């Protein structure tokens, strides 16, 4: 799980919404590629649905669309137990009714050597963040306008 001397790269999470529960699966091969190239490690991956009445529930990884095929079987077992019912509820709360979502908890494996070097140098990674692309683009556009 950890790189040298128990050091992991920064851990992040993503919640992705699929409005109307329409998921093409186009991102799944890219996710597999990131794992296979050793850039990230999936700690947990779970799917959430939100009914029209607001009811939130977890969905199985193997058959999210209910068609009986195991199109997501490659992700079975990607569950450390860190994401539980509370996280499913919190993630589902931000989804629009009638939508589904994916919650991904991942380690940035590529950064583990940097984290180890920082620790050896007496530092400690105390925070990490994520800026949504739309927010970054808007901030850059505003900066260019000034």
* pLDDT (tens place) for every residue of the chain, 146 residues total: 444 557 788 888 899 999 988 877 788 888 889 988 999 999 988 889 999 999 998 876 555 455 555 555 555 556 677 888 888 889 899 999 999 998 999 999 999 999 899 999 999 888 877 788 888 899 998 988 87
Predicted structure pTM score: 0.76
pLDDT at 73: 54
How high is the pLDDT of residue 67?
58
Provide CB contacts within 8 A for 78, sequence distance 6+: 42, 43, 44, 45, 61
What are 28's two structure tokens?
Answer: 């799944």
Q: What is the Cα 68 distance to its own chain's centre?
A: 25
């Amino acid at each position: 799980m950890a790189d040298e001397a128990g050091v992991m790269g920064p851990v992040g999470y993503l919640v992705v919404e699929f409005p109307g529960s329409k998921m093409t699966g186009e991102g799944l091969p890219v996710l597999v590629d990131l794992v296979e190239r050793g850039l990230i490690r999936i700690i947990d991956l779970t799917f959430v649905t939100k009914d029209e009445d607001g009811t939130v529930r977890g969905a199985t990884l193997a058959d999210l669309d209910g068609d009986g095929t195991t199109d997501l079987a490659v992700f079975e077992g990607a569950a450390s137990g860190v994401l539980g019912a509370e996280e499913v509820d919190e993630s589902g709360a931000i989804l629009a009714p009638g939508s589904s979502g994916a919650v991904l908890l991942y380690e940035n494996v590529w950064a583990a050597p940097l984290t180890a070097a920082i620790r050896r140098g007496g530092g400690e990674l105390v925070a990490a963040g994520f800026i949504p692309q739309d927010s970054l683009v808007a901030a850059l556009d505003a900066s260019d306008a000034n």
